[in-house]
Structure 1
Amino acid sequence: MSHEHLETTLFGEPEHHEPRRRRRPRQKRSKGRSVLVLIVALVLVGAATATAFTLLRPVVASILGDGDSGAEDFPGPGDEEVTVTVKQGDTGESIATALKSAGVVKTRTAYLDASAADPQGSAQIQPGTYTLKKGMKAIDAFTALVDPANRSVARQTIPEGLWVSEIIQRLSKATGVPVADYQAALKDPAALGLPAEAGGRPSSYEFDKNTPAAAQLKQMVALTLSELKKAGVQPKDYTRILTVASIIEGEVNGDADRAKVARVIENRLADPNGPTVGLLQMDSTVHYIEQKRGRAGTSDAARASNSPYNTYRVKGLPPGPINNPGAASIEAAAKPADGPWFFFVAVNPDTGETKFAATQAEHDRNVQEFNAWCSQNKDKC
Structure 2
Amino acid sequence: MIDDLDLGFDEPERGEKGRHRRGFVERRNGRSGGRGKTIFALLMALVLLGGIGGGAFYGFDRVQNYFVTPDYDGAGTGEAMVEVKQGALIAEIGDTLVAADVVKSTKAFIEAAEANALSKNIQPGLYKVRKQMSAEKALAMLLDRKNKVTNQVTIPEGRTAKDTYKLLSDKTKIPVKEFEVAAKDPEALGVPDWWFVRKDGKKVTKSIEGFLYPDTYEIAPKATAEGLLKDMVDNFLSVTGEMKFAEQVQEKRGGISPYEALIVASMAQAEAGNADDLGKIARVAYNRAYTGKFPCSCLEFDVSVNYYWQLTGKKTKASKDMTTADIRDPKNPYSTHAHPGLTPTPINNPGKQALQGAMDPPEGGWLFFVAIDKQGHSAFATTNAEHDRNVEKAKQNGVL
Which amino acid letter does the alignment assign opposite residue 359 of structure 1? T
User: Equivalent of 2:145, from 145, 149, 153?
Assistant: 149
User: 1:298, 1:121 → 2: CA distance?
Assistant: 62
Q: 2:364 aligns with which of 339, 343, 347?
A: 339
For residue 139 of structure 1, report the CA deviation from its aligned partner. Answer: 7.0
**Partner of 2:286 in structure 1?**
266
Distance 1:76 1:258, change over 3 A: closer
Q: Which has the higher contact order (CA 8 A, sep 6+)?
A: 2
Residue in 1 aligned with 2:343? Answer: 318
How many Å apart are 1:296 and its aligned residue?
4.6
Q: Is the Cα–Cα contact under 8 Å of residues 84 and 93 in structure 2 kept in the other structure? A: no
Q: Trace 1:103-114 onto structure 2 (pairs within 5 A).
A: 111-112=103-104
Secondary structure of 2:81's partner? Answer: strand
Residue 295 (str. 1) matches residue 314 (str. 2): no
Gaps of 5+ in 2: 1-50, 63-70, 197-206
Matched, 1:283 2:295: no
**What is the Cα deviation at residue 166 of structure 1?**
0.3
* Cα 1:234–1:174 shift into 2, 3 Å: farther
From 194, 206, 214, give the equivalent of 1:205: 214
Alignment-mate amino acid for residue 209 of structure 1 = I
Percent identity at matched positions? 30
Q: Please state how far the C-alpha of 1:184 moved relative to its aligned partner.
A: 1.5
Matches of 1:171 and 1:196 in 2, distance apart? Answer: 26
SS at match of 2:372: strand
Q: Which moved more, 1:248-257 or 1:143-152?
A: 143-152
Change beyond 3 A, Cα 1:347–1:290: farther
Task: Give the corresponding residue for 2:16.
Answer: none
User: 1:233: which partner in 2?
Assistant: 249
Q: Which residues of structure 1 form unaligned runs of 5+?
A: 1-43, 56-70, 100-107
Q: Which residue of 2 aligns with 1:352?
A: 376
Equivalent-residue separation in structure 1 for 2:294 and 2:94 (angstroms): 65
Supply the AA of the counterpart residue of 2:126.
Answer: T
Alpha-carbon shift at residue 120 of structure 1 (Å)? 2.0
The superposition leaves residues 315-370 of structure 1 with CA deviations (integer Å, 9 ceiling, x where unpaired) of 1111110000111111111222222211111123x310211111112222322344
Alignment of 1:33-112 (within 5 A): 48=55, 51=58, 82=79, 84-86=81-83, 88=85, 95-96=97-98, 98=100, 111-112=103-104
Q: Give me the whole-angstrom Cα distance separating, in 1, the residues matched to 2:235 and 2:382.
A: 36
Indicate if the aligned counterparts of 2:108 and 2:135 stay in contact, CA closer than 8 A: no
Give the equivalent residue in structure 2 for 1:66. none
Query: 2-side partners of 1:225 and 1:140: how far apart?
Result: 33
User: What is the rounded CA distance, in whole Å, between the counterparts of 1:139 and 1:226 in structure 2?
Assistant: 29
Distance 1:132 1:342 in 2: 57
Asked if 1 retains the 8 angstrom alpha-carbon contact of 2:190 and 2:233, the reply is yes
Q: CA deviation at 1:76?
A: 7.4
Match of 1:367 in 2: 391
Q: Aligned-pair distance for 1:186?
A: 0.9
1:54 Cα shift?
6.9
Could you tell which deviates more after superposition, 253-262 or 192-201?
Answer: 192-201
Q: Match for 1:254: what amino acid?
A: N
Whether the 8 Å contact between 2:75 and 2:130 is mirrored in structure 1 is no
- Residue deviations 1:116-141 (CA, integer Å, cap 9, x gap): 6554226857654334569x876786
SS in structure 2 opposite 1:328?
helix
3-state SS, counterpart of residue 85 of structure 1:
strand
What is the TM-score of this pair, normalised by structure 1?
A: 0.66
Matched, 1:172 2:184: no
Partner Cα distance (2:128, 2:81) in 1: 7
Task: Give the alignment partner of residue 248 of structure 1, picking from 264, 268, 290.
Answer: 268
Aligned match of 1:58? none
Query: What is the CA RMSD across the aligned residues, in angstroms?
Result: 3.8
8 Å contact 2:174–2:225 — kept in the other structure? yes
> What is the Cα deviation at residue 158 of structure 1?
0.8
Q: Distance in 2 between matches of 1:49 and 1:150?
A: 47
Distance in structure 1 (CA, Å) of the matches to 2:139 and 2:384? 68
Instruction: Output one character per residue of 1:87-106: Cα deviation in whole Å (capped at 9) or x when no partner.
Output: 5476757535645xxxxxxx
Structure 1 contact 280–316 (Cα < 8 Å) conserved? yes
- Specify whether residues 370 and 77 from structure 1 end up closer, same or farther in structure 2 by C-alpha distance, changes over 3 A only: same
Q: Which residue of 2 aligns with 1:307?
A: 332
Amino acid at match of 1:365: R
Alignment of 1:219 with 2:217, yes or no, is no
The answer (yes or no) to whether the contact 1:242–1:330 under 8 Å persists in 2 is: yes
**How far apart in 1 are the matches of 2:152 and 2:275?**
25
The CA deviation at 1:224 is 2.3
| Counterpart contact for 2:283–2:363, Cα < 8 Å | yes
1:294 Cα deviation (Å)? 7.4
Cα deviation for residue 154 of structure 1 reads 3.1
What is the letter of the counterpart of residue 217 of structure 1? Answer: L
Distance 1:261 1:303 in 2: 20
Maintained 8 Å contact 1:251/1:284 = yes
Note the C-alpha offset of 1:270.
2.9
Aligned equivalents of 1:49, 1:245: Cα separation in 2: 69
| Structure 1 residues 132 and 216: alpha-carbon distance in aligned structure 2, compared to 1, 3 A threshold | closer
Q: Which residue of 2 aligns with 1:41?
A: none
Ranges of 4+ aligned residues in structure 1 off by more than 4 Å: 47-50, 52-55, 75-78, 89-94, 115-118, 122-127, 136-141
Alpha-carbon distance in structure 2 between the residues aligned to 1:87 and 1:139: 15
